[in-house]
Amino acid sequence: MSREVKIGLFAIVALTIAFVGYNFLKGKDLFSNNNVFYIEYANVDQLQTGAPILVNGLAVGSVLDVYLKPENYNNIVVEIEVRGDLNIPKTTLAEIVPTGLMGGKGIQLVFDQFCTGDGCAQSGDILRGATKGLIDAYVGVDKLKEYTNVVSDGLTVVVDSLSESLKEEDNEVGNSMRDLQATLQNLKATTYQMNKMLAASQGDITATMANMNSITQNLQQQNAQIATIMANTAQFTGQLKDINLAATNKGASEAIASLESTLKTADKAMQDVSGLMNKISSGKGTMSLLMNNPDLYKKLSSTSENLDYLLQDLRLNPKRYTRILSRKQIPYKKPENDPVEGN
């Protein structure tokens, strides 16, 4: 046998073992004559592949596959495998039941009687499906009421005993309960008074809330202006921060000192002017005499007028005055319309 044939046979055996092992882990026995059935459910409650198939608590198979029905995604198809030596009737009900308190699920096959011949389900048939809750699976609907009555009777006895015990005066729990009852009554009275106060103040509260609403609306409307004011304030404070306050204060101090010196000089000048005016008013000094002597004013006025005539005559008759400066005698000719003689 060649090496290549050995390798091929080894690969075939390995693949066969892997396939059988994989199906065995899924709960499917390839070497037994088992029957395969299909069940449709509206909700499988997280049923997993490999979950056990039970008959009265005995595992008789396993779940092969769980998938959505291709024609209708509202239904889920569960494919199960059951031992070939187990004949189950066509009316068998496949219920999904919990297999433990930790949430495991399995399928319980429920049927009333054994079957023979055509009354038995054949491999590939579809069974009816149902889902059973935790309490229904462990207790049963028929016994649930019985257990409920037992629990109710037991609780009644316990409550009666506790009530009698609480009525005793030296019972601390009873005293605490009575104190709690009194506290609840006081709380009830307090809440009643608060309700009355709130009802009486409802109008004021409504008006206050309306005013608050109006204020908030006004603030919202003035939001842009407020933002502008805040921005200007931030800019102004930034500018104040950047100003050299020390240099500004020094310059201001120097300006104030210069102003004080100027004011002192002006004050002294005003005092001198005031003294001069006092002297003039009192008749002292030349200025006082000039201002207070009317004859001197008249004389000065006449002198000014005569000086004006002299200047006019000098302009009109310059030759009259040149002979005073010249050595040659120039005959004098009297001008016509002499302004001096005319006056």
pLDDT score recorded for residue 96: 92
**Whether this model's pTM surpasses 0.75:** no
Using DSSP bridges, classify how beta strands 126-131 and 93-98 pair: parallel, antiparallel or unpaired. parallel
Residues 62/51, Cβ–Cβ less than 8 Å? yes
Tokens 């002499």 appear where? 338
Residues 74/59, Cβ–Cβ less than 8 Å? no
Spatial separation of the C-alpha atoms in residues 165 and 186, rounded to whole Å: 25
Each domain of the chain, given as residue ranges in start order, spans 32-132, 142-168
Residues 62/53, Cβ–Cβ less than 8 Å? yes
pLDDT score recorded for residue 41: 94
B/e letters for 85-107, b = 16+ CB within 10 Å, e = fewer, are eebbbeebbbbbbbbeeeeebbb
Dihedral angle over CA of 159, 162, 168, 169, nearest 10 = -110
Spatial separation of the C-alpha atoms in residues 198 and 208, rounded to whole Å: 13
pLDDT score recorded for residue 8: 84
pLDDT score recorded for residue 26: 60
278 backbone dihedrals φ, ψ, rounded to 5°: -65, -40
Q: Walk along the chain (343 residues) and give the pLDDT tens digit of each residue.
A: 788 877 888 888 888 888 777 666 665 555 567 899 999 999 998 899 989 999 988 999 999 999 999 998 899 999 999 998 888 999 999 999 988 777 689 999 999 888 888 889 999 999 999 987 655 555 555 555 666 777 777 777 777 677 766 666 666 766 777 788 889 989 998 998 888 888 888 888 888 888 888 888 888 888 888 888 888 888 887 777 666 555 566 777 888 888 888 888 888 888 887 877 777 777 666 666 666 667 777 787 888 888 888 888 878 887 777 755 555 555 555 556 555 555 4
pLDDT score recorded for residue 53: 93
Closest C-alpha to 107, from 135, 139, 81, 144:
81
Query: 303: Cβ–Cβ under 8 A, 6 or more apart, which residues?
Result: none
Q: Treating both helix axes as pointing N-terminal to C-terminal, what angle do 285-292 and 245-282 enclose, rounded to 10 degrees? A: 60
Beta bridge partners of 37: 80
Beta bridge partners of 131: 96
Tokens 């008759």 appear where? 317
